[in-house]
Amino acid sequence: MAVMMSIESYEGRPANVEEAKEQVVFANRILSNEGVMDAFGHVSVRHPFDPNRFLQSRALAPDVVTKEDILEIDLDGTVITQTNLKPYGERVIHSAIFKARPEVNAIFHGHPHAVIPFSCTGVPIRPIAHFAALFYEGIPLYDDYDEDTAMLIMSPEQGEKVAHALGSARALLMRGHGCIVVGEHIPALVWGSIRLRDNASIQLQAIALGEPKYLSYEEGRGETRIQLSQAVLGRAWAYWLARAKKAMPDF
């Protein structure tokens, strides 16, 4: 977990619940606008004061999520907010990972098309472009779906299996389904989610040309430190946010 600890001083974590809700809204809008999510996929942030809770939209298409849609959920997947709004069925993924990974404060699950070819051929996604360096410790693959659950992760037990497969990694591919990305805070999560998709698409092209030279472990580690700094991440965040606001008049 060296990498994540190395940026502990970065002010990416929300100062209060309102800010946390806003970050979840922003992440939903950005990942939708950049084509990483369509009508499906979800983002969560750990509660700023209570590590045993997280914030996530009710079951809704990510491009229309607002602060009013954000629910408070505990690490068993129980919705704490007094509401009739329906949560995502796959919130157990978030519960289980927040439980297993205390240093993780933000989680994305979705189905970007570019990662699926890797998920079902066993070819690992590896950093080939420096902006995807943060995956230098490797991206494991989950392919242990329960027979009667239709490849979805709907029970606490399945959530735990997925969290176990993720291990200490920053991302997990799910065979024929999509991916999970985790981050120390929402901006790092958004960076990782976009860069995973971009790297997959570049790697596919590189493999068509020949044997790619991937980033070395040291290159990946060094680049990660820089890319998750406030200077780099802050610029990217402002850029993606402005694009989303321009494309979404209601935002």
Name the residues that contact a copy of itself, by CB under 8 A: 38-40, 59-61, 63-64, 86, 89, 111, 113-114, 116-118, 120-123, 127-131, 133, 143, 145, 147-152, 175-178, 198, 201-202, 204-215, 218-219, 222-223, 225-226, 231, 235-236, 238-240, 242
Asked if 203 and 128 touch (Cβ cutoff 8 Å), the reply is yes
Distance separating the N- and C-terminal Cα atoms of the chain: 35
Asked if 183 and 104 touch (Cβ cutoff 8 Å), the reply is yes
- Closer residue to a copy of itself, CB minimum distance, 126 or 156: 126
Closest approach of Cβ 147 to a copy of itself, in Å? 6
Asked if 36 and 244 touch (Cβ cutoff 8 Å), the reply is no
- CA-to-CA distance for 115 and 197, rounded, in angstroms? 6
Tokens matching residue 173: 């591919």
The residue type of 127 is: P
Closest approach of Cβ 205 to a copy of itself, in Å? 4
Q: Is 19 a catalytic residue?
A: no
- Closer residue to a copy of itself, CB minimum distance, 8 or 148: 148
Asked if 106 and 188 touch (Cβ cutoff 8 Å), the reply is yes
Angle formed by the axes of helices 230-247 and 217-227, to 10°?
70
- Closer residue to a copy of itself, CB minimum distance, 15 or 150: 150
Q: Which of 90, 137, 160, 184 is catalytic?
A: 90
The residue type of 22 is: E
SS3 174: strand
Closest approach of Cβ 52 to a copy of itself, in Å? 27
- Closer residue to a copy of itself, CB minimum distance, 100 or 221: 221
Closest approach of Cβ 119 to a copy of itself, in Å? 9
* Residues annotated as catalytic (active site), given as ranges: 90
